[in-house]
Structure 1
């Protein structure tokens, strides 16, 4: 097997996909994707053409994704939260041949000024299947263009090969020990790497079942998990925390075997609570990037509570290096930029040669993340190069402060941000979600933090929120939080 579709086409006859009341076996999924590929061919899609998919998590989304890959087109899963002009800009950058959309996102597809087709029509297609009449794509051909989840700046589409897509799915399946008996509920949008790779792709290569949640709401997720439990979950810690503190938390975790989280560290207290309440859980802390098709490192479960803020060791086939400003390897314990290399690295940014040159150094990918390697080879992230806050000449790493704030008993989630200051350049602010509604003593919280942080790193401004703006992956959107705070303060 050289591509993800070939892996799917050789799976057994068990259930592959669960979407509401609909269940598709692998045989049924193959047939629908094969027919949809034939329909895309009739719409003029050829090898190397770009097919954009926009919509909620659905059978149609999955069928369109597999059909495009089977045909040798380059599939671009689009963020369905873009506005119409942003979506059109992305389609123009790709010179998309076809936009496949669901009914809720017809307006985006029509505004893009491209040929369109409904995801629902692709699922229901009666086109003659391609079967063996059309050649499979080569593993080195471009397969997916995945756009980074940032909300500002130039759109950056990471070009991922068929080899990278398949290798990344196998990596997650192997790290989580997934097999045909396993199942997952996709809590994040399928357009994010966590959705199309860490869950859908991993379960497809393992021969397991992928359950779809149209879009995330804690109550909807718990209702679906209560109705149809799964063995494998993956999400950012904040989403897992919302499930943990909910009244029906047993519905999420009672049948779950493996929980993979990433995007930010899980506070030790959260991990300990999960393991105390559901001792059979295997917790894995992963670190991945869009430009690396997702997983780079994984922290073994036996280290989760003792070293939970580490993102672990490189996965098989991946090398990690912490690099000084001059491009040479940093010493053990020294902070520098994290560089990674391996078979799942992107080949380039689509039509962005200057950005590509700034991101790729030989075989290495420059991640933009700051971190250090300890004596055991564990990677510890300390923040983003562009997130470091300069407070009067002192450098503050938001991720470190967030971990200390989140360890306070009253706090469910914390996000640190910079507040512009004419004298110090920046002051430290933090937005928090409380575990329970009621009074919160900011000064008492600050006093506790003074024992754990340098005085200049203790947040001076606190915003208590019911919810936080989030990126596509579910992580708190630091820039949007800072913008909202400043608008409110003004």
Structure 2
């Protein structure tokens, strides 16, 4: 089934609201009609089996164009709006994109190809029903990874990948047409796209937050009576530390979801204690897995701190050692996954695809252990472990300890070359506090909880940690800032 036909299967002519904001409200019938018009225009203009770019913020325009491209039998190439003009030019070239649908403010970034900034098609054709029989293994979407581990890769996702992962997420979140999501995550990010997919399939609605600050989204939760709120670690850290979030009431809210990286269990449990009537889903995933791989049931939030849970419905998740055997409790191995949600590969990178997909299993690059009940705990990522004084040290373990200090808002730990230790452990802290007092407190706290070989050799403070477009700490940028800081202090 065409993924768009699947999403709108039960709601294409519904007069219930699909998209809401303070500026516009559009029904399923409105959106689906525009999707069909765009689909028809694309088929008549360039045919099928092409790659078509989208360079747009969260908006009805994004949803209409995204749906129209996929419905037409073409591949939607979702471009991060925070990309540089050089990166965008590279993506357009790599994907041989003939047309980019773009917000007007981004038109100049897509130079060299045809750019369309409004909905094309005959507005009288509101009941088009185009043939849409497309093989399920046809690539529907290409999403470029955030680049946190190197050069951005184009993840190719099929209609079947998208359908499978959407079905799985709907099962464990128990979404229905009564659900309404406050959206602060961009749709060009797989986590944000999954919110769009699941709520359309369920017949629910999405509130598009237009505010540049999260405080506006908090107001919108109550204003629009939202039932769900989703965020990455930085989202929840900002809410807890910079807004009145923990002192507010959200009577309509049913649940929170968190993915996109590790959020300290102390922060998660603070939210859980503050809102005992709201479910908090800790989740884990990857763009290569469409979006989601695991979740921790909310009723285990306090019993299994720091666990990412187990595989979601339809996904087999294992932790394997270097010999390929499933680890025993307490042992460390790599998380591997199998399921219909796993990508068909990276765009034009067969060697890299073969490296991460072997015998039908996706090798995530995340190292983890398991407990006696099979719940998974990530301890770090391959390549990020610090080799100091002969020990392999997990940055995440040190970050969790430092985050327990009240005046620390966020923390990133990494290693730098050292002539004696091999690598020295460096902690970058985000805090409004400055000076030796905070550094002394952090060092004292670390010395009380960590052995000497895991204690930071140096600590430096930033008012704000640089983030990438997915809202995750940009480790490369942080390392550059530290190097500049270190050079200046010499």
Give the TM-score of the pair, scaled to structure 2. Answer: 0.93
- Structure-2 change in CA distance of 1:340 and 1:454 (3 Å): same
2:470 aligns with 473
Distance in 2 (alpha carbons) for counterparts of 1:481 and 1:125: 50
Deviation at 1:440, TM superposition (A): 4.2
Deviation at 1:59, TM superposition (A): 1.0
Distance in 2 (alpha carbons) for counterparts of 1:95 and 1:384: 33
2:253 aligns with 256
What does 1:69-218 correspond to in 2, within 5 Å?
Answer: 69-110=70-111, 113-118=112-117, 120-122=118-120, 126=123, 128=125, 131-150=128-147, 153-197=150-194, 199-214=195-210, 217-218=213-214
Deviation at 1:214, TM superposition (A): 4.3
Contact 2:402–2:445 (8 Å) recurs in 1: no
Q: Are 1:324 and 2:321 an aligned pair?
A: yes
Contact 1:417–1:429 (8 Å) recurs in 2: yes
Q: Helix, strand or coil: the match of 1:467?
A: coil
Deviation at 1:201, TM superposition (A): 0.8
Deviation at 1:280, TM superposition (A): 1.0
Contact 2:2–2:132 (8 Å) recurs in 1: no
Contact 1:5–1:66 (8 Å) recurs in 2: no
Distance in 2 (alpha carbons) for counterparts of 1:436 and 1:138: 57
1:399-439 alpha-carbon deviations (Å, 9 max, x no partner): 11111111222222211122332322221111222377898
- Structure-2 change in CA distance of 1:420 and 1:341 (3 Å): same
Runs of at least 5 residues in structure 1 that lack an aligned partner in the other structure: none
Q: 1:310 aligns with which of 289, 307, 312?
A: 307
1:83-112 alpha-carbon deviations (Å, 9 max, x no partner): 1111111111111131111012111111xx
Distance in 2 (alpha carbons) for counterparts of 1:171 and 1:150: 26
1:284 aligns with 281
* Structure 1 vs Structure 2 CA RMSD: 2.2
Distance in 1 (alpha carbons) for counterparts of 2:211 and 2:134: 32
1:463 aligns with 460
Contact 2:2–2:71 (8 Å) recurs in 1: no
Q: Helix, strand or coil: the match of 2:130?
A: coil
Say how many residue pairs are matched. 484
2:22 aligns with 20
What does 1:237-252 correspond to in 2, within 5 Å?
Answer: 237-249=233-245
Give the TM-score of the pair, scaled to structure 1. Answer: 0.93
Distance in 1 (alpha carbons) for counterparts of 2:122 and 2:357: 41
**Which deviates further from its counterpart, 147-156 or 361-370?**
147-156
1:427 aligns with 424
Deviation at 1:15, TM superposition (A): 0.6
Distance in 2 (alpha carbons) for counterparts of 1:47 and 1:252: 49
Distance in 2 (alpha carbons) for counterparts of 1:247 and 1:346: 38
1:9-46 alpha-carbon deviations (Å, 9 max, x no partner): 431331111143111111111011111212222431x3
Distance in 1 (alpha carbons) for counterparts of 2:156 and 2:414: 31
Q: Are 1:52 and 2:48 an aligned pair?
A: no
**Which deviates further from its counterpart, 372-381 or 249-258?**
249-258
- Structure-2 change in CA distance of 1:151 and 1:398 (3 Å): closer
Contact 1:38–1:128 (8 Å) recurs in 2: no
Q: 2:45 aligns with which of 43, 46, 55?
A: 43
1:398 aligns with 395
Q: Are 1:357 and 2:354 an aligned pair?
A: yes
**Which deviates further from its counterpart, 28-37 or 416-425?**
416-425
Q: Are 1:219 and 2:220 an aligned pair?
A: no
1:386 aligns with 383
Distance in 1 (alpha carbons) for counterparts of 2:323 and 2:212: 43
Deviation at 1:132, TM superposition (A): 2.4
